[in-house]
Chain A
């Protein structure tokens, strides 16, 4: 139990007065939100139902000291299912806003801007689904320059900005361009003949971190044959088309990019951005006379159990059929 001395009975009123916090008292703790929540799956400490209850009980310090309150990405999977119509991500934002005013900060990690390389082109500000990036004017060597700045309390490290940044001046450390390129090439997978299974195609898969809800599908990620390499990124919006071209020019037979269904994207816009990039890339491959069936993009819904492993194996079979001598076109 909480220490009565630290209870703040006015906390709930403060949250309800904050934009987005109005409907707090509607919550009757049914837990539907938690059952929908993808963050709760990977981080059991994150629990919107419990957070709302603690706010009602005035447990201010406990709420703010929980580092997971920053993890709500506003995917809004819970919102349509809440029987009380509470916009829970808005409520979580109201709580975060008060936390920021109280001097708390998101624990990170966050996207990092290399100010020396940043040109202030502002592509990242337009790309960020969270408004976490904006231009500020700074002085470098006596010269004023506009550079991008990350609001660490808003950044969700989806990496959409890193894929969009024309100068690679924004990095999400765990998923940096260098690390992804190294994963594509690791163990000489594409370059060492000994790594290839004779007559078998090699398929590279970029999967987002959130589109597989069933444990059996998540387990499948590690059980594909060795000619399938899966690179898990936070979001399909992190996939830079350069990664795909890099893999193709290094000899991969096919690339599959899998994201979430639009409307279910964990980072709101990532799967739409990936969709746009992939459609255009496929058109470009076709214009170039490359076989565009070598690059596929799929969007997997939260209820499509079993679809991802089936898609991987189907694409592998299609790539293998392509390699049959009868199907090789001049």
Chain B
């Protein structure tokens, strides 16, 4: 038998769902174990960073890196794994485009730390203690990772060969990607893999009749008609601006697409594109300002998964840089 592939799987700023997504391939995990030796997977087995540091450079064939880069520890490990891996895969929406943790970029380090360590109702911090990166105690120096001002995607920190979208990637696509890796049949670097073609609407079986929107509603305010297009019911669905490939579990659960598979090919800003599409389908009789008010938390709605990887984020970094 050929030599086994050498694998690493890591989580940075993530919820752990992407690690579970790997396990969700079910019995195929045995085929993975046959084809690959896993040298680092902290979420599943006991490894230490020093195990990775001890490896020669480029000695890992593939690293599946999930989670965004929130702090200096995330960045350190991203750089370490990059150096040790031939192929770096941004695995899941956090590593690919920033995802839910990326919504923290609507605020900043100072406000986040103040909120968490001083203002939350359950916090009692009279001394005003705040996390420090270094702290000397009689027993020695203690260190914590530095909390960054903004969440970054993996590709904003190190070069990345492939991107697997999804929050988390669905099991069928995870297995597709793993099979392609095992078979050595990956497309040219830079590709988004484990996806379908076009957008969600291309596969969606819901009926579209060209109905314009008189009122926007949030999913919890109505019981959606399970046969009809969500957008035509006034429920914001990110399907038109979301890459196909997930199999539409949300749609089948009568919930609109939230956009976790990221923008389709050629869309440079998923949030702005969804905004452009959604506000174009309004009914001529409806009051525009009322419709605008019906969209609660527009940044969170339109950029739910893609904020750090957006043009909006680049515009923000440019403005902050000029101040």
Contacts and interface: CB of A to CB of B under 8 A. Distances in A.
B275 A277 contact: yes
A248 B231 contact: no
Instruction: Determine chain B's interface SS by DSSP, over half rule.
Output: helix
Nearest to A119: B202
A284 B241 contact: no
Contact of A242 (B232, B239, B268, B291): B268
Nearest to A168: B266
A167 interface: yes
Interface stretch (B33-41, B92-100, B115-123, B276-284): B276-284
A281 B297 CA distance: 11
Most B C-beta atoms less than 10 A away, residue of A135, A160, A166: A166
Most B C-beta atoms less than 10 A away, residue of A121, A163, A168, A281: A121
Interface string B312-323: 111110110001
Interface stretch (B46-54, B151-159, B208-216): B208-216
B210 A166 contact: no
B199 A167 contact: yes
Given A240-B273, A249-B315, A284-B312, 9 more contacts: A121-B208, A122-B210, A134-B210, A135-B210, A164-B281, A167-B240, A245-B269, A289-B106, A289-B316
A125 interface: yes
The 10 residue pairs across chains A and B that have the minimum distance between CB atoms: A121-B201, A164-B280, A127-B280, A126-B281, A276-B279, A119-B202, A248-B315, A245-B311, A166-B240, A287-B299
Contact of B281 (A123, A135, A249, A290): A123
B271 interface: yes
Interface of B: 105-108, 198-199, 201-202, 208, 210-213, 229, 231-232, 239-241, 264, 266-269, 271-277, 279-282, 284, 288-289, 291-292, 295, 297-300, 302-303, 310-316, 318-319, 323
Interface residues of A, number: 53
A85 interface: no
A269 interface: yes
Contacts of A179: none
Contact of B272 (A168, A240, A289): A240
Most A C-beta atoms less than 10 A away, residue of B213, B314, B315: B315
A183 to B, nearest CB: 16
A93 interface: no
Contact of A276 (B201, B212, B272, B282): B282
Contacts of A127: 277, 280-281
A166 B267 contact: yes
B249 to A, nearest CB: 19
A141 B192 CA distance: 24
Given A121-B199, A134-B210, A251-B318, A284 B298 contact: yes
